[in-house]
Amino acid sequence: MAAALQVLPRLARAPLHPLLWRGSVARLASSMALAEQACQLFESAVGAVLPGPMLHRALSLDPSGRQLKVRDRSFQLRQNVYLVGFGKAVMGMAAAAEELLGQHLVQGVISIPKGIRAAMERAGKQEMLLKPHSRVQVFEGAEDNLPDRDALRAALTIRQLAEGLTADDLLLVLISGWGTPAAHRDDRYQCHGHPPLVPAALVMA
């Protein structure tokens, strides 16, 4: 043991062999590069599913600002757009949609889980919040994902808005956290009223 203790200081002071040093540096650089790439991949994945960027991939305006393009369909804009939505991420989607549509958005109603808005405010996620004078009315309910009176009131308000539309209006439906059966996806661009037939565009997250 005593001999070993005498040898250790000399080993510590001895210079590393150049090959060992280069190998250590290379491994460290490789690890740092992998960590940086992993962070970039993570940030890219998170960015791809943020409500704002995702909505802008689904919706766009033509250069004149008079037509709304929803994937492969186009709709005439003349201050005739109404918005409804529900789900955890729908407030961020509604905020992005209102910014995009501007004066063409007449009115909106969304239903979000209780506490989501406060959580976004605490996290400083301003891009996920509606502007103070937004045309979109927000209902919070269904605490712990359980139906309650607030969620029912939101659903009835959404229904009332949709039933008051005409064939000249466009209904933009935003849905977050809801899986649409494949059998219904072909019908996502029109909302069957009693009567008339209301043009509708569905965006899901």
- pTM for the model stands at 0.69
| CA 64 from centroid of its chain's CA atoms | 26
pLDDT 10s digit of each residue in the chain, 205 long?
445 445 445 544 555 555 555 566 566 666 667 767 666 664 554 454 577 888 888 889 988 889 999 888 899 999 999 999 999 889 999 999 999 999 999 999 999 999 989 988 998 888 889 999 999 999 999 888 888 999 999 999 999 999 999 999 999 999 987 544 433 343 343 443 333 455 666 676 6
- Distance separating alpha carbons of residues 21 and 46, to the nearest angstrom: 38
- Distance separating alpha carbons of residues 6 and 15, to the nearest angstrom: 17
Residue 7 lies inside a defined structural domain of this protein: no
Predicted pLDDT of residue 4: 46
Contact status, residue 33 vs residue 41, Cβ threshold 8 Å: no
Question: At 96, which amino acid appears?
Answer: A
CATH number reported for the structural domain that contains residue 170 in this entry: 3.40.50
Residue 165 lies inside a defined structural domain of this protein: yes
Contact status, residue 169 vs residue 68, Cβ threshold 8 Å: no
Which residue range forms the structural domain that includes residue 157?
79-179
Please tell me the total count of domains within the chain: 1
